[in-house]
Amino acid sequence: MNSSYTAVVRKSALPLVLVVSLFFLWGVANNLNDILIRQFKKAFELTDFESGLVQSAFYLGYFLFAIPAGLVMRRYGYKAGIVVGLVLYALGAFLFYPAADLRTYGFFLFALFVIASGLSFLETSANPFVTVLGPPQGAERRLNFAQAFNPLGSITGVVIGRFFIFSGADDTPAQIAAMPPTARTAYDAAQTAVVQAPYIAIGIVVMALALVILLTRFPAVHESHQPEAGEEARWRELRGRGRFFFAVVAQFFYVGAQVGVWSYLIRYAEATVPGTADRRAADFLIVSLVLFMLGRFAGAALMRRVAPVFLLAAFAAVNALLAAVAIAMPGYVGLYALIASSFFMSVMYPTIFALGVSGLGEVRKLASSVLVMAIVGGAVLTPAMGALSGLAGINGSMAVPLVCFAVVLGFALSVRRAMRQVAESPA
C-alpha cells in the first residue's frame, strides 16, 4: 500500500508542478488589467466608464467560454483543455503588439477577450485536475497549495506593470493638451507601445509552457460520468435549490466588488490624494494583494475555530463598512479603507462557492460550472462603477462594492439562518 502510494506521488509530481504554475499565470493576467485600466485611460483619453471596459472584455471571455471549455475537457480530457487554454492565452498576449502599432482601443479589448477565453479553459480544467492528480486523500491539500500561487501571480502582474508599463512621468491633462501635434502623436504612441514588450514576453513564456505540457506524459485519470440523458434531470433538480441560486447571485456581486475595487484603486489614489504618481499608486495595489494573500491563510486558520458562514458574514459586514468609509472620507483614510478591504475579501469566493454546492450530490459538477460563470459580475459591475464615477466622483463609485458586500452579507445570514433551523428541528 505504501509503495503504491509513493509510486502515484512520483508519477504525478511533474504534472502537478506544471499545473500549479497555471494558477500563478492567470493571477498575472488578471491583475495586469488593473494597470492597463490606468494606462489606457491616459493613452486614449478615456472616461472611467470607457476604461472599465477592459474588465468587461476580459470577464466576458471567461463567461462565454466556460461551457465550451467544459465540453472540450469532457471530450478530450484535462490536458487538452489546459493546452488549448495556454495557446489562447499566448495568442491574446501576442495580439498586443499589432494592437499597440494600430493604437486601437477596440483591438486591445479583443486581445484581452482572447486571453480571458484561454484563462476560462485553464480554470475549468486546472481546478478539478489538481484534485484528481494524485491520491484522493491529498486532494484538498493539493488544491489549497495550488491556489496559494494565484495571489503571488497577482502581485507579480502588478509589479510588472509598475516597472515596465508605468513610465513614472505623470503629465497632467493640461500639459498633454498643450503639446504640439507632433509631440502629442509621439506621446500617445509611446503610451500604447509600452505594453508590447511585457505582453510579448508573457506570450513566449506561456507558449513554452504549453509545449512542455504537451510533451509531458500526464497520468491517466478515471472518473465516472453521468449519462447525457441525466442532464435535464440535473437541471430540474438545481432549479429547486434556493440556496444555490442565492450563492450564484452572491458570487456575481462578490466578483464585481473585488474586480471593481482593484480596478479603480489606482484611480482612487491619484484622484483623492493629490500628487500621487502612478507608480506610487501601484504600490498601494501591491499592498492590497499582499493583504489578500495573507487573508487567505488567516481565514483558513480561523475556520478551524469559527464556522465558515459566520466568518463570511463578519468579513462582508466589515467590508461594507470599509466601502462606506471610502465613500465618505476620500483621501488617505478612504484609500487605506479600500486597501484593508482586500484582506476581508480573501475568503469570500471559496466560501460562497463551497456553501453554494454543499449538499448537491450528483448535481455538484453542474452547479460548479454555473458558479464559475458568475465571474461575469466583473464584466458588468466594473463599468457600472466607472459610469457612477462620472456622476458622483471616484469615491462615490464605491457605492457599487458597498451594495455588493451587502448582498454577500445577506447570503451569509440566509445560510446561517437555514443551518440553525435544521439544527433546531426535531430529528
Which domains, from first to last, does the chain contain?
11-218 (1.20.1250.20), 231-427 (1.20.1250.20)
Residue 229 confidence (pLDDT): 43
Residue 409: pLDDT above 60? yes
Grid coordinates representing 140? 484538498
CA distance 74 to 413: 36
Residue 45 confidence (pLDDT): 83
Mind listing the pLDDT tens digit for each residue in 332-378? 999 999 999 999 998 898 888 878 877 766 666 667 777 878 889 99
83: exposed, middle or buried (C-beta count within 10 Å: 0-12, 13-18, 19+)?
buried
CA distance 361 to 414: 21
pLDDT (average), residues 382-403: 95
| Sign of the four-CA dihedral 150, 151, 152, 153 | positive
Q: How far apart are the first and last CA of the chain?
A: 40
Mind listing the pLDDT tens digit for each residue in 13-64? 788 789 889 989 988 998 899 889 888 888 888 888 998 899 899 989 888 8
DSSP-derived secondary structure letter, 347: T
Note the pTM of the prediction, 2 decimals.
0.80
Residue 373 confidence (pLDDT): 84
pLDDT (average), residues 161-173: 73
CA distance 345 to 164: 28
How many CA within 13 A on the CB side of residue 108? Answer: 25
Rg of the chain, C-alpha, whole Å: 22
Which of 4-8, 20-24, 82-86, 418-422 ranks highest by mean pLDDT? 82-86
Q: Indicate the length of the chain as a whole number.
A: 427
Residue 230 confidence (pLDDT): 59
| Sign of the four-CA dihedral 411, 406, 300, 364 | positive
Q: What interhelical angle do 53-76 and 105-132 show, nearest 10?
A: 40
